[in-house]
Amino acid sequence: MGFKMGIVGLPNVGKSTLFNALTKTAVAQAANFPFCTIEPNVGEVAVPDARLDRLAAIAASKQIIPTRMTFVDIAGLVKGASKGEGLGNQFLANIREVDAIAHVLRCFEDGDVTHVDGRVDPVADAETIETELMLADIESLEKRLQNIVRKVRGGDKEAVQQERLMKTALAALEDGQPARVVEVDDEDVRAWTMLQLLTSKPVLYVCNVGEAEAAEGNAHSTKVADMAAGQGNSHVVISAQIEEEISQLEDEEARMFLEEMGLSEPGLDRLIRAGYDLLHLETYFTVGPKEARAWTIKSGTSAPKAAGVIHGDFEKGFIRAETIAYDDYVTLGGEQAAKEAGKMRAEGKGYVVKDGDVMHFLHS
């Protein structure tokens, strides 16, 4: 699995420019007016991972298949979106379908680009959208609580569980807190996820700064960093303009351009890495002469569940996983050398896959 990240923000903060750059397309019209994105644009990108290239080189793999990440460019929200202002209702629905939210905040000064509120204040922008999402969640919960009253009175266990979780979420929201602050017990996770609350999504704040500020950020991005830390959320500093320029260059030209700007890597790499950390995702590899491939799993995934990412039958008929740690595979120079050195392990159903493991699954 990869994961799906929705790009949200007020109009004219650089969402579509960033989306175009990340997906190396121009399907999202980047223009200086609100609602230039009428339908959510969806794009997939390969997740960059230098380890995969290294493994492929050692194994002389004919094909390299990275894992994928999906970006959804969701049109600009405005104050009142929860009540249908702008194109609010349609886009609030789109947010429910993503795993995490990349909240793009304008952290650049540019008199030629109109801000919907006539000022540059990323913290206030973040509060505006968070408020709209919270109001939408409150309205949704109040309606749903009314709709399950009869089932609760009838003793329906599922309805009783839903009511309890909805009331807990509603209490947090009415106290001015997003639903993500609610601590959910293991037995409630599935039911909680089914509520599809907008503010239960993890948030990554993307500080869109000017080209000259891409390496160190600025006063605006520092305020966002402080806000994110206070909330327990993450942030990353990116110049959408630089990313757009890089996306149109060849690899060597892009590397030289980044060096000139004082950057060690593209913003895409930082954004994806931050997204993986946010969702507690890890990568394992399958490597051979035909292909070297990366697979994304949740941290703490067992070997059978990891096998199931490749194919459901692998999980059902799981016997064992032949496993080599990435460092051992690289240091020793491949599977056979690792095996001869005693570094290939036979792991059973209880094994928890580690980030970077090179695996081969045996199944019935």
- Same domain, residue pair 219 and 342: no
Query: How many Cβ atoms from other residues are within 10 Å of residue 194's Cβ?
Result: 11
Structure tokens at 340: 């001869």
Residue 283 lies in a domain: no
Q: If 0-12 CB within 10 Å is exposed, 13-18 middle and 19+ buried, where does residue 361 land?
A: buried
Same domain? 85 vs 150:
yes
Residue 295 lies inside a defined structural domain of this protein: no
Co-location of 104 and 196 in the same domain: yes
Residues 307, 196 within the same domain: no
109 and 231 in a common domain: yes
Q: Is residue 271 part of a domain?
A: yes
What is the value of pTM for the model shown? 0.82
Each residue's pLDDT tens digit, 51-64: 999 999 999 999 99
Residue 67 lies in a domain: yes
CATH number, domain containing residue 150: 3.40.50.300
- The answer to the question of residue 289 being in a domain is no
Question: For 299-336, what is each residue's pLDDT tens digit?
Answer: 999 999 999 999 999 999 999 999 999 999 999 999 99
pLDDT digit string (tens) for 72-122?
887 655 555 445 544 445 566 777 888 899 999 999 887 666 565 667 899
> Do the beta carbons of residue 95 and residue 321 sit within 8 Å?
no
Residues 273 and 307 in one domain: no
CA distances to 2, 50, 140, 141, 143 from 147, rounded to whole Å, are 35, 51, 11, 10, 6
Query: Domain check: are 262 and 331 in the same one?
Result: no
Residue 142's CB is within 10 A of a number of other CB atoms, namely 12
Conformational region of residue 60, where left means phi above 0, alpha means psi within -120 to 50, and beta covers everything else:
left
3-state secondary structure the chain: CCEEEEEECCCCCCHHHHHHHHHCCCCCCCCCCCCCCCCCEEEEEECCCHHHHHHHHHHCCCEEECCEEEEEECCCCCCCHHHCCCCHHHHHHHHCCCCEEEEEEECCCCCCCCCCCCCCCHHHHHHHHHHHHHHHHHHHHHHHHHHCHHHHHCCCHHHHHHHHHHHHHHHHHHCCCCHHHCCCCHHHHHHHHHCCCHHHCCEEEEEECCHHHCCCCCHHHHHHHHHHHHHCCEEEEECHHHHHHHCCCCHHHHHHHHHHCCCCCCHHHHHHHHHHHHCCEEEEEEECCCEEEEEEEECCCEHHHHHHHHCHHHHHCEEEEEEECHHHHHHHCCHHHHHHCCCCEEECCCCECCCCCEEEEEEC
**201 strand-pairing partners:** none
Residues 201 and 325 in one domain: no
Report whether 227 contacts 292 (CB < 8 A). no
Q: Identify the pLDDT of residue 248.
A: 84
How sure is the predictor about 31, in pLDDT bands with cuts at 50, 70 and 90? very low
Determine, yes or no, domain membership for 291. no
User: 198 versus 303: which is more confidently predicted?
Assistant: 303
Q: Please say which residue of 228, 248, 278 terminates a domain.
A: 278
Q: What is the mean pLDDT of residues 30-37?
A: 42
Residue 251 is assigned to a structural domain of this protein: yes
Q: Which two tokens stand for residue 317?
A: 């008929």
Domain count within the chain: 2
Query: How does residue 129 score in pLDDT terms, banded at 50, 70 and 90?
Result: confident
Give the mean model confidence (pLDDT) for residues 189-204: 91
User: Are 87 and 21 within one domain?
Assistant: yes
CATH number at residue 311: 3.10.20.30
75, 129 contact by CB (below 8 A): no
- Residues of the chain above pLDDT 90, percent: 55
Nearest by Cα to 201 from 226, 234, 175 = 234
* 8 and 130 housed in the same domain: yes
327 shares a domain with 261: no
pLDDT, residue 33, reads 41
Domain range holding 32?
3-278
Place of tokens 């036979």: 346
Are 163 and 216 found together in one domain? yes
Residue 287 lies in a domain: no
The yes-or-no verdict on residue 242 having pLDDT over 80 is yes
